[in-house]
Structure 1
Amino acid sequence: MKKPKVLIVDDEAQMRMLLRIHLQDSYQLLEASNGYEAIELVEKEPVDIVLLDIMMPNLDGKQVCKKIRTFNKDIPIILLTALNESKDKVEGLTIGADDYVVKPFDPEELAARIHVQLRRVPAPSTEGSILSINELIIKPESREVLVSNIPLKLTPKEFDLLYLLASNQNWVYTREQLLDKVWGLNDIVDIRTVDSHVRYVRDKLKKAGLQVQPIKTIWGVGYKFSSGDSE
């Protein structure tokens, strides 16, 4: 069985070596010492997942993440950083990263997080499954969302969350179910991640001019998608 290909992006040679030691038995490894090299590799190589350091000179990890998302919306990106503030984690997820690991990290935890991202099931992507709900159109094959025919920019996880809910209208999902279906494993990613992503999607839909908020909160349970006016 072919090993998944992991791109390690870090300006510190010692950190790249440490990651290489922990990952080389299970994965094919590529390395980049700066953001420019990383972007070029992702554009040219069939990379399966990116481990991306935030604190790099010239072009930092957040800028690299944003750039990668302009041409590849699906590749999993895990941010590596010494920053442990909640606002830094939220910002990282908002710009399109899929997960966030704080240095110094536990090698087993990092391996588990990589495994989760690689085994995640993408949202259905068949030509006949375009969803059109009032002013909202969701195109899974191209991973596009339109509100009144105007494109709406969502991160990969925001898209997966919205598409899952919209594909099963009026079905109530618990937070644990959403965490498992969208993120892949509910005992590694914080349950509050679901709430924050629902909030981001709601805010973007509202700012785009959607008249009725379709993602409803079912208090004490979770969320559902409904095109009606009632909560």
Structure 2
Amino acid sequence: MTYRGPGERALPMLLVAMPAVSQQWALDELRDPRFTYHLASTGREALRDLYRYRPDLLVLGMYLRDPGPWDVLRRVREMTEDLRVMVIDRDYREAVAVRALASGADDYLWATMSRPFGKAQVLARLRRARPVAPAAQLIEDGRLSLDVVTHEASVAGTFLPLTPLEFDVLEILARNPGQVLTPVQLLDRVWKNPAEGSPAKVRYVVLRLRRAFEKATGSPAPIETVRGVGYRYRPPQQQ
């Protein structure tokens, strides 16, 4: 459901993504006749609604689930650097604040802070915000089709069964057709904790991707290895 302030439709729009039990608090704190509000109670809803409503500011609760806030923040930053993201926590936690800002959030607020200060932060961000056009929900090139919200993939009209990790690697490659991505770049963009990853893990996922392509189509996969550098996806027009 979309919430609007009293009177005429307010702009810009805030997408408030947090568990349903916390949403009323957020509305009480942020409600303003100059804003339009849309609520999402799960991470999946938030990612879907980013495409559907193209909000000007994402208010991201730290207790969001399915997926959690760190996954949502990572995927948002993979899609766009322009969308303003404001993280809200229950209490101030320095380690969480540092991680959120390092992961791409623009601000970190908490429920017990001064209400006027929190509202002023929102207004300051929105003054610099502009309508955002997120990356397309569907990635299609005449052969490959990826729905980045539902995590469904097909190749030449045939369903491609992939694990979440395999899908994420394929998505990054498909968003950069013809570009060679190193294992380090893939680790940084896909793995939750790149420090725990290794080039061997990337090789293994790419191997599984190739097998999935070949099983679905009976033809070699369009994912090439550039020896000593990394991997690239070849769209139909480059083959």
Structure-1-length-normalised TM-score: 0.49
Structure whose CA Rg is larger: 2
The normalised TM-score by structure 2 is 0.47
